[in-house]
Amino acid sequence: MQVEGRHSSARGFILAMLLAIIVAMGVFLTVALPSLNAEVQRDQEAELIYRGEAIAAAIKAYRTKTGGYPLSLEDLTKLRPPILRKLYLDPMTREGEWDLITAVQPGASGDKTGLPIVGVRSKCQKDSYKIYNGKSLISDWTFSAAGNLLGGPAANIPGAAAAAAVLGATGTNGTNGTPQPGGDPTAATPTANNTPPKPPDPGTTPPTAPQPPATPPPPAP
């Protein structure tokens, strides 16, 4: 009987120790898990910057070689010699699919197929631990070979400045205030009331004032 009591006490002590260990491990994981997740995300953000900048550099090299932007990311791997070692995926999302930055706005459907690609960005909507180009939202990190085209300057796109000038320039014709495409807003057509006098023709001699008649000489004696 005493032996059975000792075995029962030993089993109870072991179970209590196991329970204490499990509780301690749970507390440890609860404290350590946020730090572990943060470290994993920091590594992913560093990889995102590496891959995004590599793709942007490859797009720039593609345009230098071909004179245009790729219509798909797969085009970056088809040049010889290769300008991109492999087609990188977005490390911040499970699918790995990039949000493409195109030179022109897509249609109402949002389909970007066949549009010239100038850069990429992640579809991840998390707040970042790193600050990249002043942005702390991961989906706002743009990796572009031509700047921020959607809603920003597009001076690096061939013909963009000229197109903006044609579409946005307006002036005044000076008579009735009607805007005219391509006009000069500071120029005004003279009217009858403010026409300046016409300068003399440099090839003509200006008229001289009439001279009084000469005094006749006195009669001889």
Q: What is the DSSP letter of 108?
A: T
In whole angstroms, give the CA distance from residue 100 to residue 121: 7
For 89, how many CA atoms within 13 A lie in the half-sphere containing its CB?
7
Six token digits for residue 162: 């000229």
Query: To which residue do tokens 């030179």 refer?
Result: 103
Q: Across residues 47-75, what is the average pLDDT?
A: 96
In whole angstroms, give the CA distance from residue 71 to residue 146: 15
In whole angstroms, give the CA distance from residue 12 to residue 125: 50
pTM, whole model, 2 decimals?
Answer: 0.56
Contact 29, 37 (CB under 8 A): no
Segments in the chain forming alpha helices (H): 2-66, 160-168
Q: Across residues 189-211, what is the average pLDDT?
A: 52
For 56, how many CA atoms within 13 A lie in the half-sphere containing its CB?
18
The more confidently predicted of residues 172 and 39 is 39
pLDDT tens for 70-124 read 999 999 999 989 899 899 999 999 999 999 999 998 989 889 999 999 999 999 9
pLDDT at 93: 95
